[in-house]
Amino acid sequence: MADTTGESPVQARRVGDTAIIYASDYLNKLSGERIERECKRQLESGSRALVINFRDTELVNSIGVSILMGVIDAAEQNKARLIFSDVNSHTAKLFEMLGLTRHVSLAKDEGEALSQVAPQKNAVGS
Amino acid sequence: MTQQRILANVSRDDFVGRDAELQQIVQQASRLTDRRGLVLQAAPGVGAAELFRQAYDQLFLRRGDPVPIHFALLRSDANPVDTARRFFQTFLRHYVAYRRVDPSLADAPLSSNDLIELALPGDYELISELVESFERERGASDQRDFVRFCLTAPHRLAAAGRRLFTLIDCLGLGPSKEEISLAQEITAAVAKSSGSFALAGLRRQVISLLGSDGGSDFTEVLHLEPLGDDDGRRLVDVLARRHEVQTNEPTRDLIVQQLNASPLFINELFLAARAAKRPLTSFLNCQRLYVDELMGGRFYRHFSRILDQVAPQPQTKKVLLRVLHESAAGEAHKASLWAWKKRLGVDAGEFERIVDALHVNELANSSGAFIEMNAESYVWMDYLRAHYRVEVAGEARAMIVATTLLDTLKRAPQTMARKYRREAALGLSELVSYFNCQSVPASLFHYDRFAAAHKGADTESINAELDMESDLIRLPQTIYAAGCSAYSDSISCGPERCAVAHGFDAADYTDENEVVWLAAEIESKLEASRELTEEWCNRLAGLARECRFEQVRLWLIAPEGFSPEACELLKERDAYGSSRRQVELLTARIKSEIGAADERADEYEMVIPMGTDTELIAAHAVEQIARRVNFRPEAINQIKTALIEACINAAEHSMSPDRKIYQRFRLENDKLVVTVASRGVVPANLASDNGHDVRARDEKEDAKSRRGWGLKLIQTLMDEVEFERVDDGTQLRMTKYVR
């Protein structure tokens, strides 16, 4: 069942082995680092997949995006899947422009993201 | 309705070519809040005295505050006492005339009693007291005290609560120290009283009138240059009508050219024509009258009066004529000061006075160790040649008249041809002076490419294709441009046809980026041949060597372009070559940019502190602005992101001393121009190459690199991105077009 993490300023919840982290309206250095910290915390606590939900994110800057590269690194090291969901078209183009989409999948929404991680979760968890 | 003349010599309608200057002087009188002085620096004979008289008339007839006073220093004043007395009386007379709204009093010979009797009841006591004090001081024995008293007139009127605007005309000031000293006293007396004021003087003399503090009371400077050709022609038409002298278009143009569009000389010529009842309908008629005036008429009197002042002793004047003539006859029209002093044989003080007087009257230019004749004035040079022959060489007068007339007639077509060439020229000096780091299509500087791509096409389609051209040349920032002849005599052509432009590539003020453009317009009816092109390349290269220009760019312009062989040569010499058409297209582009910059557009400015997400405030602001010209939502997001990145770059890289980001958002018809500036350190290799290195480097880096994406993002999101030169820090200009 899903739960909400109350220790971090970043909203997050767990769905099974999958952690869903909610990015704020502006992805900059500070909010990027918070997401990175939360993602690492979730990985350390056993999450096998990470979904970062950008439904509230209107603007991103290059520093915030560069920090996401740290999240990608951390996920790869932990052999966890990483999916970005609810990314608006402008932000999606920026991610593509900066090469992030070579390392991470984009999902239309949380449901699609969870369905994408399910086979892997099953493979690992069953 | 025609404006009434009071002090002016000509009606307002006939006063040509000085509308803006007249307006500025009249506006100066309207300044109510602060005490400000305007100084008019005039070239000789350009009509500055009439301008001041016109200003007086306009202020008088306009009514309201303040009371206009006009005082001109005259050579006819015998001594300082006379001048001071006239100063005092002029103040009272102009004051009374204005208060009584009676223009006829402004120039009337009024006695002290007349002034008292004419004073309005409200002014009676003040005028009576002033006149009584004046008469008392005049009767006292100390002349110095009397002069001092007279000069207090503006102060006394101001102290009584009267607002004045005083026009002081020092254009007729002589060269003596005493006259200059008195003019300084008068200027200081007016400046110390409350109210605005204006001072006119010859541009090479006026600085000495401003006193030891260099004129701290003068906050406005107005330069009065010679009339342009168009205004000169209008003046001829006006004078021909007024004096009922017949002219035609060719003679009108000749008069303007030969008299250097000088209102003084043109007016003198028409006065002479009227007196002699001579029509000016042929070159021969014009030159006959001209030579008459030169030999013993108005032109003669004008220059003789100046030379009499410069060298009052007949023997000195004779030697001076010889020295002047010999200096003018030399190829460079100049001689060493040392040689002059030796030839003139006068003491150091007198020599200095002579040279200074010639300099002030712009008959010669004294600079450093040389004295250079003003050879641009035909009238002065003709006078000098003729009177040297009369007064020094002792030639027969009839011979001099005949040969001068023959010479001026032979010269007339050449004078006109020079004018036509000047008008037909592209104006290279002006064009290169507009260079300011604009990026322009490279084909405008390579005739072969241009001919291959655009020959036979109409201007519209050429421009459309030029807009698409990706190969661009970034022009330097020109900091000074002048004609080649100003640097050397080795290339003889007008400043419009051959130009030297000093500047910096990318507006980067370093030795490495310092560059001199040498541009020349060459004459060739067909495509310029290799031989002609080589000859001009060599000439310009020779000029560069002579002037020790290190890094140069040669640019030749031929009306019909260059032959294939000539184009090859230009490539070999790393020189640019353009046809006249290419230059016209280039000029139109550059001028339209300047014009566009001058047009009033919707412009917003914003200053945000660095840090704490302040870039979001800027992003929200630019969103609102961008919506005003219907950018699509996606484009708005791109602009916002680019702006955010620019703000981050400014905050991260500049080491800004004030920690502020200065932004300007300029909306034009089809685009939004965003400028982001910050003070501080310019990141290495950023401003000089417009960040192209950064982009190239970024592209090579792995996408996983954590930072340095900002500029790359900006360049991708915006249509045009350019670092602009600023004195301190960086300024990034980003443009997005509405599509």
**Tokens (6 digits) for B154:** 């503006």
Contact B256, B237 (CB under 8 A): no
Q: Are A99 and B707 a contacting pair at CB < 8 A?
A: no
- Give the C-alpha separation, B279 to B292, whole Å: 14
pTM for this predicted structure: 0.65
The CATH number of the domain holding residue B659 is 3.30.565.10
Alpha carbon separation from B441 to B428, B449, B502, B664, B701 (Å, rounded): 18, 11, 22, 27, 31
- Give the C-alpha separation, B241 to B314, whole Å: 41
Tell me the three state secondary structure of residue B555. Answer: strand
- Give the C-alpha separation, B40 to B21, whole Å: 9
How many helices (H) and strands (E) are present in chain B, helices listed first? 28, 20
**Under an 8 Å CB criterion, which residues of B touch A?**
613, 615-616, 619, 634, 637-638, 640-641, 644-645, 648, 702-707, 709-710, 713, 716
What residue numbers bound the domain in which B720 lies?
A: 605-737
Measured between beta carbons, the chain B residues lying within 8 angstroms of A65 are: 709
- The domains located in chain A, with CATH, are 12-118 (3.30.750.24)
Alpha carbon separation from A50 to A47, A79, B63, B498 (Å, rounded): 7, 11, 84, 71
B50 assigned to some structural domain: yes
Q: Which residues contact B259 (CB under 8 A, 6 or more apart)?
A: B232, B265, B266, B269, B378, B379
B232 assigned to some structural domain: no
Which tens digit of pLDDT belongs to each residue from B46-62?
999 999 999 999 999 98
More confident residue, B692 or B607: B607
Residues B210, B214, B219, B222, CA torsion sign: positive
**Tokens (6 digits) for B694:** 């950064």
Number of domains into which chain B is organized:
4
Q: Which of B445-459, B648-662, B688-702 has the lowest mean pLDDT?
A: B688-702
- Is B697's pLDDT higher than 70? no
B595 assigned to some structural domain: no
Length, in residues, of chain B: 739
Looking at the fold, whether B191 and B319 belong to one and the same domain comes out as no
In the 8-state DSSP scheme, what is residue B427? -
Looking at the fold, whether B565 and B611 belong to one and the same domain comes out as no
**Residue in B616, B637, B638 closest to A26 by CB:** B616
Q: Are A90 and B637 a contacting pair at CB < 8 A?
A: yes
B264 assigned to some structural domain: no
Looking at the fold, whether B445 and B554 belong to one and the same domain comes out as yes
pLDDT number for residue B409: 92
Q: Are A66 and B709 a contacting pair at CB < 8 A?
A: yes
- Give the C-alpha separation, B121 to B145, whole Å: 30
Measured between beta carbons, the chain A residues lying within 8 angstroms of B713 are: 62, 94, 97-98
pLDDT number for residue B393: 93
The CATH number of the domain holding residue B396 is 1.10.10
Looking at the fold, whether B379 and B468 belong to one and the same domain comes out as no
pLDDT number for residue B627: 85
Residue B589, Cα to own-chain centre: how many angstroms? 24
Q: In the beta sheet, which residues pair with residue B68?
A: B165
Instruction: Grade residue B613 by pLDDT with cuts at 50, 70 and 90.
Output: confident
pLDDT number for residue B683: 64
Which tens digit of pLDDT belongs to each residue from B265-278?
999 999 999 999 99
In the 8-state DSSP scheme, what is residue A102? G
Q: Which of B397, B418, B439 is the last residue of a domain?
A: B418
Instruction: Grade residue B351 by pLDDT with cuts at 50, 70 and 90.
Output: very high
Residues of chain A under the 50 pLDDT cut:
1-6, 121-126
pLDDT number for residue B396: 94
High-pLDDT (> 90) share of chain B, %: 58
B254 assigned to some structural domain: no
- Is B89's pLDDT higher than 60? yes
pLDDT number for residue B602: 81
Mean pLDDT of the B576-605 span: 80
Instruction: Grade residue B373 by pLDDT with cuts at 50, 70 and 90.
Output: very high
**Tokens (6 digits) for A83:** 């999916």
Mean pLDDT of the B504-531 span: 90
Q: Are B707 and A90 a contacting pair at CB < 8 A?
A: no
The CATH number of the domain holding residue B157 is 3.40.50.300
- Give the C-alpha separation, A90 to B641, whole Å: 10
Residue of A nearest to B642 (CA): A61
- Give the C-alpha separation, B354 to B321, whole Å: 12
Residue of A nearest to B706 (CA): A66
Looking at the fold, whether B710 and B616 belong to one and the same domain comes out as yes
B11 assigned to some structural domain: no
Mean pLDDT of the B334-352 span: 91
Which tens digit of pLDDT belongs to each residue from B623-644?
988 888 778 888 999 999 999 9
Site of tokens 């305007």? B38
Tell me the three state secondary structure of residue B558. Answer: strand
More confident residue, B494 or B134: B134
pLDDT number for residue B687: 47
More confident residue, B415 or B169: B169
Looking at the fold, whether B468 and B399 belong to one and the same domain comes out as no
Looking at the fold, whether B498 and B407 belong to one and the same domain comes out as no
pLDDT number for residue B523: 86
pLDDT number for residue B686: 56
Contact A111, B658 (CB under 8 A): no
Mean pLDDT of the B274-295 span: 95
Write down the H helix ranges in B599-687: 614-627, 633-653
pLDDT number for residue B495: 62
B671 assigned to some structural domain: yes
Contact A57, A24 (CB under 8 A): yes
pLDDT number for residue B8: 94
**Tokens (6 digits) for B499:** 């130009």
Mean pLDDT of the B447-465 span: 90
Mean pLDDT of the B491-497 span: 69
Comparing CA positions, the residue from B694, B678, B677, B674 lying closest to residue B686 is B694
Q: Distance from first CA to last CA of chain A, Å, rounded?
A: 17
**Residue in B615, B638, B703 closest to A99 by CB:** B703
Looking at the fold, whether B105 and B154 belong to one and the same domain comes out as yes
